[in-house]
Structures are given as structure tokens and as C-alpha cells.
Amino acid sequence: MEAYQILWIISLIIGIVVIGVVAFLLHKIKTTAGKIDVVAGKIWTQGKLTANNTIQIPLFLSVTNKVVSKIYDSAVKIIGGSAAIKDHAEGCPGCPACVLNHHK
């Protein structure tokens, strides 16, 4: 075999080894990119769910405020009623009998 043939064979072997290494590295990159894509998809999904929950807060907050307002109004009426009962009881010599007989 002549020198140029040996050089050609060595070049082909080196080329095949380089191609094999590059193919292996590209496969590792593709595998890692796939894993990154899966994790990024999960992060994206959780981000959308969080954003959806955040959007719902003002809607539920207005309903909550209405309910709290009704509870507050009821509490004010109860306080007024208990003050009236207290005023009556303090000024009535027949209490509590008059209240019990009044409701019969």
C-alpha cells in the first residue's frame, strides 16, 4: 500500500470516529432537550393554573364582600335588639316574667 492510500484510510477512520462522537453528543442533546421540554410544559401548565386562580380572586372577593356586608347588617340589628331588651329589662319591674308572659 502506498502512503496516500494509508493516509486516506486513516482519514476515513478518523472521520467515522468523529461522526460517531458527534452522533452520540447530538443524541444526548436531543434527549436533554426533550426532558427540558417536558419540565417546561409542566411549569407552563402550573403557571396557567396559577394565573387562572389569580383571575378568580376579584370575582369571589366581590361575592365575599356582599356576604360580609349582610352578616354585618344582621349583627348590627342583633346589637340593636339586645340593647332594646337591656333597656326594657332595666326599666321594667316585672322582668323577666313580663317577657315570658308576653310571648304566651
Q: What are the pLDDT digits (tens) for 38-90?
A: 999 999 999 999 998 888 888 888 889 999 999 999 999 999 999 888 888 88
Q: Which three cell numbers stand for residue 5?
A: 492510500
Q: Which residues contact 85 (CB under 8 A, 6 or more apart)?
A: 99
User: Does the structure show a pLDDT above 90 at 12?
Assistant: yes
User: Does the structure show a pLDDT above 90 at 93?
Assistant: no
Q: For residues 27 and 86, what is the distance between their CA atoms, to the nearest angstrom?
A: 85
* DSSP symbol at 78: H
User: Does the structure show a pLDDT above 80 at 28?
Assistant: yes
Q: Which three cell numbers stand for residue 9?
A: 484510510
